[in-house]
Amino acid sequence: MRFETRNLFGIEYAVVDYESASSLILERALQRESFGVSALAVHGLVTSVRDKAVGDRVRRIQMVVPDGQPVRWALNSFHKLGLKDRVYGPTLTLWVLEKAAARGLKVYLYGSTETTLAGFSAFIRARYPEVEVCGLHPDRFREATPEEDEADVRKIHDSGAHLVLVGRGCPRQEVWVGDHVGRVRAVMMAVGAAFDFHAGVLPQAPRWMQDRGLEWFYRLLKEPRRLWKRYLTTNSYFIYLFLKSRLRGLY
Protein backbone atom coordinates (compact mmCIF):
# COMPACT_ATOMS: atom_id res chain seq x y z
CA MET A 1 0.00 0.00 0.00
CA ARG A 2 1.43 3.35 -1.09
CA PHE A 3 0.61 6.88 -0.02
CA GLU A 4 1.02 10.37 -1.42
CA THR A 5 2.90 13.19 0.26
CA ARG A 6 2.83 16.96 0.10
CA ASN A 7 5.59 19.35 1.10
CA LEU A 8 5.11 21.86 3.91
CA PHE A 9 8.12 24.06 4.72
CA GLY A 10 10.53 21.36 3.61
CA ILE A 11 8.86 18.37 5.30
CA GLU A 12 6.91 15.81 3.30
CA TYR A 13 3.58 15.08 4.98
CA ALA A 14 1.61 11.94 4.18
CA VAL A 15 -1.85 12.52 2.74
CA VAL A 16 -3.62 10.05 5.04
CA ASP A 17 -6.43 9.73 7.55
CA TYR A 18 -6.63 7.48 10.60
CA GLU A 19 -7.88 4.48 8.64
CA SER A 20 -5.29 4.63 5.86
CA ALA A 21 -2.41 5.54 8.19
CA SER A 22 -3.14 2.71 10.63
CA SER A 23 -3.57 0.22 7.78
CA LEU A 24 -0.23 1.26 6.29
CA ILE A 25 1.44 0.91 9.66
CA LEU A 26 -0.04 -2.52 10.32
CA GLU A 27 0.98 -3.77 6.87
CA ARG A 28 4.61 -2.83 7.52
CA ALA A 29 4.52 -4.11 11.10
CA LEU A 30 3.41 -7.54 9.91
CA GLN A 31 6.40 -7.59 7.56
CA ARG A 32 8.67 -6.30 10.35
CA GLU A 33 9.80 -3.58 7.98
CA SER A 34 12.08 -0.90 9.40
CA PHE A 35 9.61 1.93 9.03
CA GLY A 36 9.46 5.29 10.81
CA VAL A 37 6.30 7.23 11.64
CA SER A 38 6.01 10.66 13.20
CA ALA A 39 2.89 12.57 14.23
CA LEU A 40 4.36 16.02 13.67
CA ALA A 41 2.54 19.12 14.88
CA VAL A 42 3.59 22.78 14.74
CA HIS A 43 6.37 22.51 17.33
CA GLY A 44 8.05 19.60 15.57
CA LEU A 45 7.65 21.14 12.13
CA VAL A 46 9.13 24.48 13.17
CA THR A 47 11.99 22.76 14.99
CA SER A 48 12.69 20.73 11.84
CA VAL A 49 12.88 23.95 9.81
CA ARG A 50 15.10 25.82 12.26
CA ASP A 51 17.40 22.98 13.34
CA LYS A 52 19.10 21.26 10.41
CA ALA A 53 20.12 18.21 12.44
CA VAL A 54 16.54 17.61 13.52
CA GLY A 55 15.22 18.30 10.02
CA ASP A 56 17.63 15.78 8.52
CA ARG A 57 16.36 13.10 10.93
CA VAL A 58 12.71 13.91 10.28
CA ARG A 59 13.29 13.61 6.53
CA ARG A 60 14.54 10.04 7.09
CA ILE A 61 11.17 9.08 8.59
CA GLN A 62 9.07 7.45 5.91
CA MET A 63 5.63 8.61 7.05
CA VAL A 64 5.07 11.98 8.73
CA VAL A 65 1.40 12.57 9.50
CA PRO A 66 -0.26 15.98 10.07
CA ASP A 67 -0.80 15.91 13.82
CA GLY A 68 -1.81 19.52 14.48
CA GLN A 69 -4.89 21.33 13.19
CA PRO A 70 -2.75 24.29 11.98
CA VAL A 71 -0.62 21.83 9.98
CA ARG A 72 -3.78 20.38 8.42
CA TRP A 73 -5.11 23.87 7.65
CA ALA A 74 -1.83 24.88 6.00
CA LEU A 75 -1.71 21.69 3.88
CA ASN A 76 -5.29 22.26 2.78
CA SER A 77 -4.61 25.92 2.02
CA PHE A 78 -1.50 25.34 -0.06
CA HIS A 79 -2.36 22.00 -1.69
CA LYS A 80 -6.20 21.98 -1.76
CA LEU A 81 -6.25 18.52 -0.17
CA GLY A 82 -9.56 18.75 1.64
CA LEU A 83 -8.23 16.86 4.67
CA LYS A 84 -11.20 16.58 7.04
CA ASP A 85 -9.19 15.98 10.19
CA ARG A 86 -5.67 15.92 11.49
CA VAL A 87 -3.99 12.62 12.34
CA TYR A 88 -3.41 13.11 16.05
CA GLY A 89 -0.67 10.95 17.55
CA PRO A 90 -2.58 9.73 20.64
CA THR A 91 -5.63 8.84 18.54
CA LEU A 92 -3.54 7.20 15.80
CA THR A 93 -1.96 5.10 18.55
CA LEU A 94 -5.39 3.74 19.50
CA TRP A 95 -6.24 2.94 15.88
CA VAL A 96 -2.95 1.06 15.50
CA LEU A 97 -3.39 -0.82 18.78
CA GLU A 98 -6.90 -1.84 17.74
CA LYS A 99 -5.59 -3.34 14.50
CA ALA A 100 -2.56 -4.84 16.25
CA ALA A 101 -4.92 -6.57 18.68
CA ALA A 102 -6.79 -8.21 15.81
CA ARG A 103 -3.51 -9.76 14.66
CA GLY A 104 -1.97 -10.47 18.06
CA LEU A 105 1.07 -8.28 17.46
CA LYS A 106 3.86 -7.41 19.89
CA VAL A 107 4.45 -3.83 21.03
CA TYR A 108 7.57 -2.39 22.66
CA LEU A 109 7.35 0.87 24.63
CA TYR A 110 10.44 3.08 24.46
CA GLY A 111 10.82 6.32 26.42
CA SER A 112 9.15 8.29 29.21
CA THR A 113 9.33 7.45 32.92
CA GLU A 114 8.88 4.11 34.66
CA THR A 115 5.61 5.37 36.17
CA THR A 116 4.20 6.43 32.83
CA LEU A 117 5.33 3.21 31.14
CA ALA A 118 3.64 1.16 33.85
CA GLY A 119 0.42 3.11 33.41
CA PHE A 120 0.50 2.97 29.61
CA SER A 121 1.27 -0.76 29.52
CA ALA A 122 -1.57 -1.41 32.00
CA PHE A 123 -3.90 0.60 29.73
CA ILE A 124 -2.89 -1.49 26.71
CA ARG A 125 -3.28 -4.80 28.53
CA ALA A 126 -6.72 -3.82 29.84
CA ARG A 127 -8.11 -2.37 26.60
CA TYR A 128 -6.27 -4.54 24.05
CA PRO A 129 -5.51 -7.84 25.82
CA GLU A 130 -4.58 -9.51 22.53
CA VAL A 131 -1.62 -7.13 22.18
CA GLU A 132 1.54 -8.37 23.84
CA VAL A 133 3.57 -5.62 25.52
CA CYS A 134 6.91 -7.30 24.94
CA GLY A 135 9.25 -4.70 26.41
CA LEU A 136 9.47 -1.49 28.45
CA HIS A 137 12.41 0.88 28.19
CA PRO A 138 12.35 4.01 30.37
CA ASP A 139 14.06 7.06 28.94
CA ARG A 140 17.56 7.81 30.19
CA PHE A 141 16.81 11.50 29.59
CA ARG A 142 20.12 11.74 27.81
CA GLU A 143 21.40 10.29 24.57
CA ALA A 144 22.63 6.71 24.74
CA THR A 145 26.25 5.87 24.25
CA PRO A 146 27.01 3.80 21.13
CA GLU A 147 27.31 0.70 23.32
CA GLU A 148 24.00 1.41 25.08
CA ASP A 149 22.31 2.06 21.78
CA GLU A 150 23.48 -1.25 20.34
CA ALA A 151 22.19 -3.01 23.45
CA ASP A 152 18.83 -1.23 23.09
CA VAL A 153 18.49 -2.37 19.48
CA ARG A 154 19.32 -5.96 20.46
CA LYS A 155 16.67 -5.90 23.20
CA ILE A 156 14.05 -4.68 20.74
CA HIS A 157 14.97 -7.38 18.22
CA ASP A 158 15.10 -10.10 20.88
CA SER A 159 11.62 -9.09 22.08
CA GLY A 160 10.13 -9.89 18.68
CA ALA A 161 8.41 -6.50 18.55
CA HIS A 162 6.34 -5.63 15.51
CA LEU A 163 5.79 -2.06 16.74
CA VAL A 164 7.94 0.27 18.82
CA LEU A 165 6.02 3.18 20.32
CA VAL A 166 8.46 6.00 21.09
CA GLY A 167 7.58 8.63 23.67
CA ARG A 168 10.65 10.76 24.26
CA GLY A 169 9.07 14.15 23.60
CA CYS A 170 9.47 16.18 20.45
CA PRO A 171 11.98 16.43 18.80
CA ARG A 172 14.03 13.82 20.69
CA GLN A 173 11.69 11.04 19.63
CA GLU A 174 11.89 12.06 15.96
CA VAL A 175 15.68 12.12 16.20
CA TRP A 176 15.65 8.61 17.69
CA VAL A 177 13.31 7.23 15.05
CA GLY A 178 15.23 8.89 12.22
CA ASP A 179 18.51 7.49 13.53
CA HIS A 180 17.08 3.96 13.76
CA VAL A 181 15.40 3.64 10.38
CA GLY A 182 17.22 0.74 8.75
CA ARG A 183 18.51 -0.50 12.10
CA VAL A 184 15.39 -1.54 14.00
CA ARG A 185 13.34 -4.19 12.19
CA ALA A 186 9.95 -2.90 13.28
CA VAL A 187 7.63 0.03 12.78
CA MET A 188 8.75 2.88 15.03
CA MET A 189 6.09 5.45 15.92
CA ALA A 190 7.02 8.79 17.50
CA VAL A 191 3.78 9.54 19.32
CA GLY A 192 4.94 11.66 22.27
CA ALA A 193 2.09 12.71 24.52
CA ALA A 194 0.19 9.48 23.80
CA PHE A 195 2.19 7.88 26.61
CA ASP A 196 1.15 10.45 29.23
CA PHE A 197 -2.44 10.74 28.02
CA HIS A 198 -3.19 7.02 27.85
CA ALA A 199 -1.33 6.35 31.10
CA GLY A 200 -3.58 8.90 32.78
CA VAL A 201 -0.65 11.12 33.77
CA LEU A 202 -1.87 14.18 31.82
CA PRO A 203 -5.41 15.14 30.80
CA GLN A 204 -6.23 15.75 27.15
CA ALA A 205 -7.77 18.99 25.98
CA PRO A 206 -11.55 19.00 25.45
CA ARG A 207 -12.55 17.99 21.95
CA TRP A 208 -13.87 21.46 21.09
CA MET A 209 -10.42 22.94 21.83
CA GLN A 210 -8.69 20.23 19.79
CA ASP A 211 -10.98 20.84 16.81
CA ARG A 212 -10.26 24.59 16.89
CA GLY A 213 -6.49 24.20 17.08
CA LEU A 214 -6.38 25.32 20.72
CA GLU A 215 -4.86 22.22 22.28
CA TRP A 216 -1.58 24.10 22.65
CA PHE A 217 -3.39 26.67 24.83
CA TYR A 218 -4.87 23.98 27.06
CA ARG A 219 -1.48 22.35 27.53
CA LEU A 220 0.06 25.76 28.21
CA LEU A 221 -2.44 26.31 31.01
CA LYS A 222 -1.53 22.92 32.49
CA GLU A 223 2.27 23.32 32.18
CA PRO A 224 2.99 27.06 31.81
CA ARG A 225 6.56 27.07 33.11
CA ARG A 226 7.66 24.29 30.76
CA LEU A 227 5.72 25.23 27.64
CA TRP A 228 5.36 29.03 27.47
CA LYS A 229 8.58 29.61 25.58
CA ARG A 230 7.95 26.71 23.18
CA TYR A 231 4.55 27.97 22.12
CA LEU A 232 5.49 31.64 22.01
CA THR A 233 8.37 31.00 19.63
CA THR A 234 7.11 28.08 17.54
CA ASN A 235 3.57 29.34 16.98
CA SER A 236 4.84 32.77 15.94
CA TYR A 237 7.40 31.26 13.59
CA PHE A 238 4.79 28.98 12.04
CA ILE A 239 2.63 32.01 11.23
CA TYR A 240 5.70 33.73 9.75
CA LEU A 241 6.48 30.72 7.55
CA PHE A 242 2.88 30.49 6.39
CA LEU A 243 2.63 34.18 5.47
CA LYS A 244 6.04 34.21 3.78
CA SER A 245 5.15 31.17 1.68
CA ARG A 246 1.78 32.63 0.78
CA LEU A 247 3.21 36.02 -0.23
CA ARG A 248 5.95 34.42 -2.32
CA GLY A 249 3.55 31.97 -3.92
CA LEU A 250 5.77 29.04 -3.01
CA TYR A 251 2.93 26.50 -3.09
Domains of the chain by residue range: 12-199
Residue range 234-239: mean pLDDT, rounded: 93
- Structural Rg of the chain based on CA atoms: 17
More confident residue, 213 or 26: 26
The structure's pTM equals 0.94
More confident residue, 230 or 175: 175
Q: What's the confidence (pLDDT) of residue 73?
A: 96
Phi, psi of 107, deg, nearest 5: -125, 135
Contacts 24+ apart (CB under 8 A), 151-157: 152/110, 153/180, 153/183, 153/184, 156/108, 156/110, 156/184, 156/186, 157/184, 157/185
**Nearest 5 degrees, angle CA 149-CA 154-CA 158?**
150
Residue range 159-170: mean pLDDT, rounded: 97
Residue range 57-82: mean pLDDT, rounded: 97
38-42, 91-95, 149-153, 207-211: least confident range: 207-211
Q: What's the confidence (pLDDT) of residue 248?
A: 86
**Nearest 5 degrees, angle CA 41-CA 22-CA 183?**
80
**pLDDT-based confidence at residue 195 (cuts at 50, 70, 90):** very high
